Amino acid sequence: MTQQEAKKIITDAIQSGRKSLLEPETLGILKAWKVPVPQYFVAKDKSLAIGAANNIGYPVVLKIVSSDIIHKTEAGGVKTGLKNEQDIDDAFNEMMFEISDHYATARIEGFLIERMADKGVEVIVGGVRDAQFGPAVMFGIGGVMVELLKDVSFRLAPVTKVECLEMIKEIKAYPLLTGYRSSEPCDIDAIADVIIKVGNIMSEMDDIKEIEVNPLIAYPDKVIAVDARVILV
């Protein structure tokens, strides 16, 4: 996807009255700015989801794609660690039962099959558009810990490499990224590169109110954005 195509996705979403993007659309925008994402495919039904998983390779993650379900995990719309066709069949049936029980009227646009990322250090990179100060970027420890610890740092966007490195070092959990208790250090430069790109997205895309990449999984030699969302103005 090109950046021009990414901008059209946002324009079309706004014209249709939507206030957020679907996850595949958000992943497409990240790809357009060259943020690393897992291999993924959007399927319309269970059989296509199984076929996509066979092509991508196991293990995979199954996610619901619905403009009516923002918090997918709480709704039962995310199933992880699926290792074979039977796992997908079971997860699909369980997911549809849970969603029909709590979101009976939700529009379902499809099912996202995503290659499951290996374990690493989970961080969050985000962007927000402030009415007074304009676009800003955020970095912190990610996953479920971000809400608990609130260990984050901010800068106005766009940001330089030096500013990104300062942001990374400011969080209390910084030692987790540098090789805590004999673990391998993470690729700090790759993390900084994603912060820069999210800052550029916020600076260049005025119709984005918020963007959140959580988690961005950091490894010794790379990073990968496994989940992301975009809120529109």
pLDDT in tens, 162-212: 999 999 999 999 999 999 888 899 999 999 999 999 999 999 999 999 999
| Whether the predicted pLDDT of 33 surpasses 70 | yes
pLDDT in tens, 106-152: 999 999 999 999 999 999 999 999 989 999 999 999 866 566 567 89
Q: Which amino acid is at 46?
A: K
Among 32-36, 83-87, 180-184, where is mean pLDDT lowest? 180-184
SS3 content of the chain, % helix, strand, coil (to 5): 40, 25, 35
E strand intervals along the chain: 40-43, 60-65, 78-82, 110-115, 121-130, 134-141, 152-156, 208-218, 223-225, 228-232
Of the candidates 187, 141, 205, the residue with the CA atom closest to the CA atom of residue 167: 141
DSSP 64-118: EE-TT-S-TTTTT-EEEEE-SHHHHHHHHHHHHHHHHHH-TT----EEEEEEPPP
